[in-house]
Amino acid sequence: MAAKITISLSPSLLKVLDRFAERFTTTRSGAVAELLRRAEREEMERQLEEGYAACTALNQADAEVFLPAQAEVILRDRS
């Protein structure tokens, strides 16, 4: 069930909201909900991107440590 809230917007922000509502072919409430969903998705994507970047750094560090040992084994097995 949806909760009802009241918000106050300046006339310029109300015009922005009305443009979004028209673009999304929905009501003002629908536009606010869609904008919040999109903001939440963008935040999640940003957090995932940061997490993947951190994992990349860890993987790079692991590769720098273990690659020489792996190369030694591979080169030894080729002989």
What percent of the chain clears pLDDT 70, i.e. is strictly above it?
99
Q: SS3 for 38?
A: helix
Q: What is the pLDDT of residue 24?
A: 97
Residue at token pair 């904008």: 35
Q: How confident is the model at residue 79 (pLDDT cuts 50, 70, 90)?
A: low
Indicate if the pLDDT at residue 27 is higher than 80: yes
- Say what the pTM is: 0.66
Rounded distance, CA 35 to CA 17, Å?
A: 10
Inter-CA distances, 46 with 23, 32, 39, 54, 60, Å: 25, 21, 10, 12, 21
Inter-CA distances, 37 with 6, 13, 34, Å: 19, 18, 5
